[in-house]
Amino acid sequence: MFAVSNRKVFSVPLNTMCYCKIKAILKRSKTRVPLRRNYSSPAGVIGNDVKSLHSIISPPIEKIRNIGIMAHIDAGKTTTTERIIYYSGYTRSLGDVDDGDTVTDFMAQERERGITIQSAAVTFDWKGYRVNLIDTPGHVDFTLEVERCLRVLDGAVAVFDASAGVEAQTLTVWKQADKHNIPRICFLNKMDKTGASFNYAVESIREKLKAKPLILQLPIGEARTFQGVVDVVNKEKLLWNSNSGDGKDFERKPLLKTSDPELLKETIEARNSLIEQVADLDDEFADLVLGEFSDNFDLVPAEKLQTAIHRVTLARAAVPVLCGSALKNKGVQPLLDAVTMYLPSPEEREYGFLQWYKGDLCALAFKVLHDKQRGPLVFLRIYSGTLKPQLAIHNVNRNCTERMSRLLLPFADQHVEIPSLTAGNIALTVGLKQTATGDTIVSSKSSALAAARRAGRGEKKPGKNNEAESLLLAGVEIPEPVFFCTIEPPSVAKQPDLDHALDRLQREDPSLKVRIDPDSGQTVLCGMGELHIEIIHDRIKREYGLETYLGPLQVAYRETILNSVRATDTLDRTLGDKRHFVRAELEARPGEAPSSRAVIEYADCVSEDLVQASQEAIENAVHSACLQGPLLGSPVQDVAITLHSLMIHPGTSTTMVNACVSRCVQKALKKAEKQVLEPLMSLEVTVTGDYLSPVLADLAQRRGNIQEIQTRQDSKVVIGFVPLAEMMFFLLGILNCAPNADFRLGYFCLRILYLSSHESSRPNCSAQPEKWFGPSALGPWKHGKMPRKKTCTCFVLSKSDVLFIGW
């Protein structure tokens, strides 16, 4: 059986069915998307059993938790979130991802496909705490959604499929959380699933994530026999009655020697090793344990242990591990308790910049949505100060002042109007037309200047001489697109409508890029993957009423050079009565470290004054010349440019300097020995032993590089790299090589290393040279398909030469 990423369990005997039929069945099975929502209305109390969204409490900041739920696709994030909202009392019934009626998967595409596409925020209270929670997507195409949420959250719950442990995308989101220093809790979900193994999942956290798991719970039974969990800290067992239906009620009983001697023994052992582990990581706790309780760890009070676990979690020295089954309604309430107990409040996180604001407003815009009636809705994380409706705010990035008309609290697609919101919360604002993802918001220009002065006094950052620049909160890193395709409106007259739709969609989703093909004039969509582009296409149709046509999907390649070359160029032009003269000589060479932008250096002989006067024009010229490489017209990366001489006649315009330098760089790139770079994906395929060889053969045909074959219970796990171009329509390939296999329809455990290429350009990140293949591995070009309409380029690749053969 294939378990390629365990999408909704959907076993089909393939010998009687082709792929198209399966797709049709899936579609039919999704036609019952309920239209009515089953959660509380913002209009007030709608029944005694459901809380009104207006009743959400506003506790002091130490009782606020901003958390995200992150994981590999299908780990059960949305199912867990749905249970969390239900148990906290904001919905009347439990939604199901497979029925398309969960609170947080509210987009039509999410409901139809049963996957999360965009992050959704909900606010609720739990035992006196206010929790702002964001459910994120697990699919690799929507990595940006995870990135921008983690940027503003204080803690995260990493959900795992207990039968699979750490999967490919778990690793990616884990690294993202590391980057933002986010304390985490692990929730081993799907303990009810066949093949679920608590120990295996914990080991994989230890091995693959290099994290130190703190086992706070033990499962009672596994797979079919899973009934509940043991609370190791309190030595109690929590049992969910299988007849209780929604799992709201469960029994919490102390473990007794008389009734559970074995379980008690196991729990005491686990507790003792937990105490040792925490004592190793926390000096204060070590002093306590070794002083008062050295004779008997059993007497260590649960509260002391919990406080120490909180400190260790906050310091990111270890991660608490809990388990349960969201689908079977077990283990979610203790998870919520752990969120409030172990994850930090906003004031426990270190935000050094807060001291510059002295209580004035400082917020970061991390997401923009377009609402047909209300216009752009901007999600803000408030770091300091208070937000109120009708407030004028200053956008530091855009240096503009805007007025916010309304302030809302998000509850998935429901929004509750509120009079004010304080620091540490997540707000939704109406009326900010210019603000985009990653912008820093302060109360006024003068407040920005005052903060900038304080920032300037406090620390002198090299290169941050501009006052506004020192105030910018680190925005959200936008990954580079890896796929592109042309998009055409139904008629030329509809082009402005399409441009408008794409404009809005780009504002919502910065990982979507739109450009115009210089050769054909066609609009080109650049996205993170097949699904990403498909969803954008669908949204244009549903939300903007435009039936558009997509060209064939192509992989976004990169180019680089392999040797150093010098080039000279002269531009001598008289325009009107003015002579413009520029002569540039420069050298292009392979960069020392991987970098998506060209590194620019100046030889000593180039006059400093000259460089200062034309630096902007020179740098723009170099970067724009590197946008279109000489081989495929793809961006050139890992290259360094040294300017050896520059002659500019007085009166020459900067546009001419730009044109000359740009031409000179292009000349050098053309002269150099070149290489096409291809994005690779890391791939993990789980397969039963009998299908291992056809899968290996298929991967070999796809130019795959197999790194490891692991044994996981009864299955084999193939781990390796495959060029992204070969992964298109991978499912069909799998069907061909193992036609009699049952399989679970779905997505693959893919991680685009292109994303890590982006990471590697940041300081402190080690480069990953294996992420690109050179031309020798590229093989013959297979995807040079002719675009449907006005055909444009069609190219053939053989080793390092590329021929453009007309259009």
Cβ closest to ligand GTP, residue 169 vs residue 437: 169
Helices (H), 687-788: 692-701, 730-737, 753-760
Q: Is 307 exposed, middle or buried (0-12, 13-18, 19+ CB in 10 A)?
A: middle
* Pairwise CA distance, residues 668 & 711, whole Å: 50
3-state secondary structure of 759: helix
Residue whose entry in the numeric block shows the structure tokens 């740009």: 662
Query: Considering only residues 28-87, where is the footprint of ligand GTP by CB under 6 A?
Result: 71, 73-79
326 binds ligand GTP (CB under 6 A): yes
192 binds ligand GTP (CB under 6 A): yes
Q: Strands 129-135, 795-798: parallel, antiparallel or unpaired by DSSP?
A: unpaired
Q: Which does 76 bind (CB under 5 to 8 A by kind): ligand GTP, Mg ion, none?
A: ligand GTP
Cβ closest to ligand GTP, residue 97 vs residue 152: 97
Cβ closest to ligand GTP, residue 190 vs residue 771: 190
DSSP state of 541: H
Q: Could you tell me the smallest distance in angstroms from the CB atom of residue 83 to ligand GTP?
A: 9
Say how many CA atoms lie within 13 Å of 569 toward its Cβ. Answer: 18
149 contact partners, CB below 8 Å, separation of at least 6? 68, 119, 134, 136, 366, 367
User: Which of 50, 67, 97, 584 contacts ligand GTP by CB under 6 A?
Assistant: 97
Six-digit token pair at 458?
Answer: 């406090």
Q: Which does 349 bind (CB under 5 to 8 A by kind): ligand GTP, Mg ion, none?
A: none
Q: Which does 429 bind (CB under 5 to 8 A by kind): ligand GTP, Mg ion, none?
A: none
Q: Could you tell me the smallest distance in angstroms from the CB atom of residue 509 to ligand GTP?
A: 16
Contact criterion met (CB below 8 Å) for 743 and 2: yes
Per the document, the length of the chain is 807
172 binds ligand GTP (CB under 6 A): no
Q: Could you tell me the smallest distance in angstroms from the CB atom of residue 266 to ligand GTP?
A: 23
Cβ closest to ligand GTP, residue 138 vs residue 183: 138
Q: Which does 468 bind (CB under 5 to 8 A by kind): ligand GTP, Mg ion, none?
A: none
Six-digit token pair at 514?
Answer: 């739109």
Six-digit token pair at 235?
Answer: 């030595």
Q: Which helix (H) or strand (E) holds 108?
A: helix 108-113
Q: Could you tell me the smallest distance in angstroms from the CB atom of residue 806 to ligand GTP?
A: 43
21 contact partners, CB below 8 Å, separation of at least 6? none
Cβ closest to ligand GTP, residue 98 vs residue 508: 98
Q: CA distances (Å), 383 to each of 355, 407, 533, in order? A: 11, 16, 34
* Pairwise CA distance, residues 778 & 797, whole Å: 9
Cβ closest to ligand GTP, residue 134 vs residue 432: 134
Q: Which residue sits closest to ligand GTP, CB atoms considered?
A: 138
Q: Could you tell me the smallest distance in angstroms from the CB atom of residue 494 to ligand GTP?
A: 32
Cβ closest to Mg ion, residue 116 vs residue 675: 116
DSSP state of 634: P
565-575 β-sheet, strand order: 565-575, 578-590, 639-648, 599-602
Q: Which does 75 bind (CB under 5 to 8 A by kind): Mg ion, ligand GTP, none?
A: ligand GTP
Q: Could you tell me the smallest distance in angstroms from the CB atom of residue 22 to ligand GTP?
A: 16
Q: Could you tell me the smallest distance in angstroms from the CB atom of residue 75 to ligand GTP?
A: 4
Binding mask 8-27 for ligand GTP (x = CB under 6 A): x-------------------
Q: How many residues bind ligand GTP (CB under 6 A)?
A: 24
Q: Could you tell me the smallest distance in angstroms from the CB atom of residue 740 to Mg ion?
A: 31
Cβ closest to ligand GTP, residue 331 vs residue 787: 331
Residue whose entry in the numeric block shows the structure tokens 């689908």: 327
Q: Could you tell me the smallest distance in angstroms from the CB atom of residue 259 to ligand GTP?
A: 27
DSSP state of 636: B
Residue 585: φ, ψ to 5°: -130, 130
Binding mask 773-802 for ligand GTP (x = CB under 6 A): ------------------------------
Contact criterion met (CB below 8 Å) for 428 and 378: yes
* Pairwise CA distance, residues 428 & 410, whole Å: 6
* Pairwise CA distance, residues 96 & 476, whole Å: 32
Q: Could you tell me the smallest distance in angstroms from the CB atom of residue 26 to ligand GTP?
A: 13
Query: Considering only residues 104-163, where is the footprint of ligand GTP by CB under 6 A?
Result: 115-116, 137-139
Contact residues for Mg ion, defined by CB under 5 A: 77-78, 116
User: Which of 64, 321, 327, 617 contacts ligand GTP by CB under 6 A?
Assistant: 327
Q: Could you tell me the smallest distance in angstroms from the CB atom of residue 165 to ligand GTP?
A: 15
Q: Strands 250-254, 236-240: parallel, antiparallel or unpaired by DSSP?
A: antiparallel
Q: Which does 376 bind (CB under 5 to 8 A by kind): Mg ion, ligand GTP, none?
A: none
* Pairwise CA distance, residues 773 & 594, whole Å: 14
Cβ closest to Mg ion, residue 78 vs residue 761: 78
Interacting residues with ligand GTP (CB under 6 A): 8, 71, 73-79, 97-98, 115-116, 137-139, 189-190, 192-193, 325-328
